[in-house]
Amino acid sequence: MYVRFWGTRGSLPTPGRHTLRFGGNTSCVEVRTADTLVIIDCGSGLHNLGRALVHSGESAVKGHILITHTHWDHIQGIPFFAPFFRPGNEWDIYAPKGLGQSLHDTLAGQMQYAYFPVRLDQMGAKIRYHELVEGDFHVGDVKVRTQYLNHTALTLGYRLEADGAVLVYSTDHEPFSRHLASGKGPIHGQDRRHCEFLVGADLVIHDAQYTLSEYADKVGWGHSTVDYAVAMCREAKTARVALTHHDPARTDDAIEEILGGIRSEEANAAAKLDIFAAAEGKSLELQLTEGAIASEVPPISSMPALATPVILMAVKDPIAAGTIRGAAREDGIAMLEAGRADEALSTATTPQPSLVILEWGPETADLLTHEDVVARDIPLVVVSDEEHLSAKAVSDWLIKPFSSAYARTRIRACLLRTTCRWERALTSQNEEQRLASLHGLSILDTPPEERFDRITRLAASIFNTPMASITLVDRDRQWFKSSYGLDAVESSRETSFCSHAVAAQDVLVVSDAFQDPRFSDNPLVTGSPRIRFYAGCPIFVGPDCVGTVCVLDNRPRQIDDNSVSLLHDLAALAELELRKPQGSKE
């Protein structure tokens, strides 16, 4: 595996005589294996890489681009990447699945007419867009694993395995636990998981924007200290670490000085970690080393990393079908086609389409008034000469003739609506009595109490989750008597996970919210606090279920029966405390 740095600077390109040795261009790394070209991040360093590819004389350049996130210093090279302007070239771009806006639209945003003369879709090369969540996938002969980093934007780290070598690219990223900025102290929870992501790598390219003293003023800015980067790599027993995302204010001499300091500390360490600063133009060849222990990497969910919406179409009119195909292609949406309307509406279709597009006709008209189809509530767009009010199952109409731009707008609106759905929990039949029991406790809106906080602390510790709470489900809200790792005091009942456990009066375990249609588009899943795993056990007062003790995580997890019984124990402890009068000690 061949690796070359084209951009190593964080935040802003900084050309000048003080950045000659380590480089002034923003993030960009080239990776080549036996038959695959991968580019990681598209900062301003991408410009020179593009020129080199064009000058290499390859007639059609094909490659894969992995983008950590769409902050400017990671995408600003795209409009200047010459291979994108060559017809015949083919590129696949991968980036984290964002919220609301597609990857294509985010990238097109920086190329709007006010900023740049050529639009993204006019560049000539064939570009495909892929939106990622956590998981594994392959590009050519490279196995790629993604894992979320801790940054101010949704950001993925990439672990690449090929030719027996392992490369991890991990920027922009801040320690989850601030005390680890010093690189000292025990590594727990999310930082432990980050460490596992690096395990046994031949090279880790890691965010190291700040020194420890600078970090004090930059907490929450989403970047690592040099000390943290080195500590993680040492713990993960990696062979080498390249410190990158150099602060724009950092001169070459300052980088040398920092390196000198950290290397002299390293001299006392038992195992040798090769520490260097990523430098523009530097390249290295990674081979399977003794230290590489890729097989020890813990497996993560088998969930596919590609989360692209799929449209299923059964339209015979060649002009309409062609326009729709073009519109889907422009938005990077995958398209499947069925011969007939009833095939398109079949429940057996895999993958399940996000949207079905049909053409109006006698047989479709019949289908669309059919109770089963109406009840299934599939997002349906129908191509027709006019609207037909009797067709209740139809979500939207495409009235002929229509332009590609119009089709895009309708399709997007429809997909957006369907991707903003989640299931609100049912209210129980004896809801008024349940609320009377809850209000009878006189506990809502009381201050935090140690006797409850002790239980949530225990829960988070036992389950090793970053969040836990004792939640009471009120008429329109859920209120946290105690919470661990959560900022909110209460949230809407609309989106409450605990309400589902209360309604079912039973333990609720959601191993992976992304895979559960009740929760996959819940704002607490797609946005902060990004719940992926939930386990909650009901708390009863008499016959009435008033709330839960629950644990939450940002990553998918499985729990066994033993853990479920521990959760029951914790709920029983919470029940005992709830029955005691306010302010009681033990």
The footprint of Zn ion (CB under 5 A) covers: 71, 73, 172
| Cβ closest to Zn ion, residue 42 vs residue 292 | 42
Distances (CA, A) of 185 to 8, 182, 192, 231: 29, 8, 12, 10
Least distance from Zn ion to the Cβ atom of residue 165, Å: 25
Nearby residues of 70 by Cβ (< 8 Å), 6 or more positions away: 95, 98, 103, 106, 107, 153
| Cβ closest to Zn ion, residue 8 vs residue 526 | 8
Least distance from Zn ion to the Cβ atom of residue 151, Å: 6
Peptide bond preceding 172: is omega within 30 degrees of 0, i.e. cis? Answer: yes
Would you call 12 exposed, middle or buried from its count of C-beta atoms within 10 A (0-12, 13-18, 19+)? middle
- How far is the C-alpha of 480 from the C-alpha of 473, rounded, in Å? 9
Least distance from Zn ion to the Cβ atom of residue 2, Å: 24
Least distance from Zn ion to the Cβ atom of residue 88, Å: 32
**Closest to 66 (Cα-Cα) out of 129, 22, 148, 135:** 129
| Cβ closest to Zn ion, residue 75 vs residue 333 | 75
Least distance from Zn ion to the Cβ atom of residue 106, Å: 13
- How far is the C-alpha of 525 from the C-alpha of 519, rounded, in Å? 7
**Closest to 74 (Cα-Cα) out of 105, 101, 110:** 110
Place of tokens 């027993």: 237
DSSP string for residues in 347-404:
TT-SSPPSEEEEE-SHHHHHHHH-HHHHHHT--EEEEESS--TT-TT-SEEEESS--H
Residue 189: other Cβ atoms inside 10 A: 16
CB 455 within 8 A of CB 480: no
| Cβ closest to Zn ion, residue 149 vs residue 344 | 149
| Cβ closest to Zn ion, residue 73 vs residue 191 | 73
| Cβ closest to Zn ion, residue 172 vs residue 191 | 172
| Cβ closest to Zn ion, residue 154 vs residue 470 | 154
| Cβ closest to Zn ion, residue 47 vs residue 71 | 71
Place of tokens 């949704």: 154
For residue 146, give the H/E element and its range.
strand 142-148
Spell out the long-range contacts of 530-534 with Cβ–Cβ below 8 A and sequence spacing 24 or more.
Answer: 530/554, 531/467, 531/497, 532/556, 532/557, 533/465, 533/557, 534/497, 534/508, 534/509, 534/510
Place of tokens 């769409």: 70
Least distance from Zn ion to the Cβ atom of residue 11, Å: 6
Least distance from Zn ion to the Cβ atom of residue 232, Å: 18
Least distance from Zn ion to the Cβ atom of residue 73, Å: 4
Nearby residues of 96 by Cβ (< 8 Å), 6 or more positions away: 67, 68, 69, 131, 132, 133, 146, 148, 154, 155, 156
Least distance from Zn ion to the Cβ atom of residue 252, Å: 20
| Cβ closest to Zn ion, residue 154 vs residue 460 | 154
Q: For the chain, how many residues are written?
A: 586
**Closest to 439 (Cα-Cα) out of 324, 311, 578:** 578
| Cβ closest to Zn ion, residue 7 vs residue 200 | 7
Least distance from Zn ion to the Cβ atom of residue 224, Å: 11
| Cβ closest to Zn ion, residue 75 vs residue 508 | 75
**Closest to 36 (Cα-Cα) out of 158, 146, 161:** 161
| Cβ closest to Zn ion, residue 158 vs residue 402 | 158
| Cβ closest to Zn ion, residue 73 vs residue 359 | 73
The strand pair at 203-207 and 142-148 is best described as unpaired
Expressed in angstroms, the distance from the first to the final Cα of the chain is 61
Task: Indicate the residue whose CB is closest to Zn ion.
Answer: 71
Least distance from Zn ion to the Cβ atom of residue 26, Å: 7
Least distance from Zn ion to the Cβ atom of residue 44, Å: 12
Nearby residues of 293 by Cβ (< 8 Å), 6 or more positions away: 199, 200, 237
Nearby residues of 133 by Cβ (< 8 Å), 6 or more positions away: 96, 97, 146, 303, 305, 307, 514
Least distance from Zn ion to the Cβ atom of residue 68, Å: 8
